[in-house]
Amino acid sequence: MQRHILGIALAVAAAIAEKIPFPLPVLPHLIASPKAPSTAFPPGAARDPSKICVVDPEATDAGPALISAARDCNNGGTVVLLPDTTYTIASPTDLTFLQSVDVLILGTVVFNDDVEYWQTKAFGYAYQDAHLFWKFGGRDVNIYGLGTGTLDGLGQTWWTAKRSNETLYRPILFGTDGLVGGSVSGLNMKNSPFWFNVIMNSSDILITDINIWNEVTNSSSPPANTDGWDTYRSTNIVIQNSTIDNYDDCVSFKPNSTNIIVQNLHCNGSHGISVGSLGQYQGEYDIVEDVYVYNISMNNASDGARIKIWPGVPPNTTGSSSGGGAGHVRNITYELFYNTNNDWAIQLTQCYFASSQEACNAYPAALLVEDILFKDFYGTTSARHDPQVGTIVCKNIRAENIAVSPPSAATAQCICTNVDEGLLDINCIMP
């Protein structure tokens, strides 16, 4: 019997060895370009090419197997998920202990779609009820897929379930929590139940060459809230060279996102590249500052460049998530922005989720918005607001070379409220 078991183990090991590409593909040389962060990313430690840990392809639940491989290869190794292999993660997988390790995903990672199970088992966060199947953290970690690795959230199950229960939690496909230094590159991401990515409590991360999309098999239950990326309480992050076809923000800078570069993205069907929403929680001070958005192609979206802030609330309002938070938005640049069939090329609102314009006027937002630049905007909006192509509120907002036209070819207009028109290279009209 022992010989029989040993023979099976050796056969499995041989089969795994045959699937490992040799020599092992190394992490591509990744750089932030053309814009680079003002603070250079810290250098990573050397990797040992002989230290390879393969995630067991026979595991019914790949979560524990992935954790085991990561522990074995921590401090200089590479964890490998084999090509032509599907790994199913069926339990919460905490990878926040990583140290100087790479994760090479060459196969497909699928997340079990047992909706009821994940309601109590997913990693939960108070902010906007965010939940995660798995989470990455630690120091000096690179997760890469070389264009073949795929993450599949089996989203249609979740989108359909949401139709009958608006309160259920839908996990995020990929997330970092406390990751300092590293990269995420060369991955395909599809069918996320909720946001595709969240970068939380993290810094010094380069994200590049990601392909994001949804596959809808039930048109009566389309995707919802499938943001491409959300950054939260994070700094010195670069997101670049990626394609996003989704149903909500292409990228959203949530509270306390600082020193962020987003560049060379192709976004379709989204709600734009958004600062916010901010000011949602009473007693919180939200900051978004030093953000550069460069060379964006935005198609078929509700908005192109967007800043969304919750208004204030009446005195003694109960419920901490109904608006009324404080904070500031400062030093935000959107430059070189191509619009095709977007409802608004630019939208800056301080009435996000307001019950009415009157209510918003009575209780204005408490956040300070300053030093915002929209520059070199091109293309054509949709017919939805023709001839209006944008809406701007707040002083100290600059707009330069805004060459966006409505489809009727009428003179483009921008709805302007409480602005300094001398700073706006656009035809303002009052609301």
271 counts as catalytic: yes
Q: Given this model, what pLDDT does residue 4 score?
A: 39
CB 181 within 8 A of CB 42: yes
Selecting among 29, 131, 266, 271, the annotated active-site residue is 271
Q: Given this model, what pLDDT does residue 2 score?
A: 45
Does residue 199 lie within any of the structural domains? yes
Look at phi and psi of residue 60 and say left if phi exceeds 0, alpha if psi is from -120 to 50, else beta. alpha
Burial class (CB in 10 A: 0-12, 13-18, 19+), 216: middle
DSSP secondary structure of 201-260: S-EEEEEES-EEE---S-TTS---S--SEEEESEEEEEEEEEEEE-SS-SEEE-TTEEEE
Q: 185 and 316, same structural domain?
A: no
Q: Given this model, what pLDDT does residue 137 score?
A: 98
- Separation between Cα atoms, residue 295 and residue 267, nearest integer Å: 11
Q: 280 and 380, same structural domain?
A: yes
- Unique residue bearing structure tokens 């404080």: 326
Does residue 385 lie within any of the structural domains? yes
- Separation between Cα atoms, residue 87 and residue 149, nearest integer Å: 11
241's tokens = 């060279």
Does residue 141 lie within any of the structural domains? yes
Q: 375 and 330, same structural domain?
A: yes
Helices (H), strands (E): how many in the chain?
5, 28
Q: 209 and 257, same structural domain?
A: no
Does residue 35 lie within any of the structural domains? no
Domain count, the chain: 2
Q: Given this model, what pLDDT does residue 430 score?
A: 81
200's tokens = 């939380």
- Separation between Cα atoms, residue 49 and residue 131, nearest integer Å: 35
CB 311 within 8 A of CB 288: no
Q: Given this model, what pLDDT does residue 17 score?
A: 58
Q: 183 and 316, same structural domain?
A: no
| Cβ neighbours of 353 (radius 10 Å) | 16
For residue 107, what are the contacts with CB-CB under 8 A and spacing of at least 6?
Answer: 57, 81, 82, 83, 84, 85, 86, 87, 149, 150
CB 158 within 8 A of CB 113: yes
CB 101 within 8 A of CB 74: yes
Q: Given this model, what pLDDT does residue 356 score?
A: 79
- Separation between Cα atoms, residue 387 and residue 413, nearest integer Å: 6
Does residue 116 lie within any of the structural domains? yes
> How would you label 135-164 residue by residue, b for 16+ Cβ within 10 Å and e otherwise?
bbbbbbbbbbbbeebbbbbbbbbbbebbee
- Separation between Cα atoms, residue 92 and residue 171, nearest integer Å: 11
Q: 183 and 273, same structural domain?
A: no
Final residue belonging to a domain, choices 157, 187, 214: 214
Does residue 228 lie within any of the structural domains? no
Q: 198 and 255, same structural domain?
A: no
Q: Given this model, what pLDDT does residue 26 score?
A: 86
Q: 253 and 150, same structural domain?
A: no
Q: 270 and 196, same structural domain?
A: no
Domain of residue 145 covers: 53-214
| CATH classification at residue 429 | 2.160.20.10
Q: 267 and 195, same structural domain?
A: no
Q: Given this model, what pLDDT does residue 14 score?
A: 53
Q: Given this model, what pLDDT does residue 9 score?
A: 41
Q: 304 and 391, same structural domain?
A: yes
Does residue 42 lie within any of the structural domains? no
Does residue 149 lie within any of the structural domains? yes
- Separation between Cα atoms, residue 113 and residue 88, nearest integer Å: 10
List of the chain residues with pLDDT < 50: 1-12
Q: Which residues on adjacent β-strands are paired with residue 104?
A: 80, 144
Q: Given this model, what pLDDT does residue 362 score?
A: 86
Q: 155 and 276, same structural domain?
A: no
CB 302 within 8 A of CB 344: yes
- Unique residue bearing structure tokens 């599809």: 190
- Separation between Cα atoms, residue 425 and residue 431, nearest integer Å: 18
Q: Given this model, what pLDDT does residue 59 score?
A: 97
- Separation between Cα atoms, residue 403 and residue 377, nearest integer Å: 6
Q: Given this model, what pLDDT does residue 105 score?
A: 98
The radius of gyration of the chain's CA atoms, rounded to the nearest angstrom, is 23
Quick one: which of 156, 157, 60, 146 has its CA closest to 102? 146
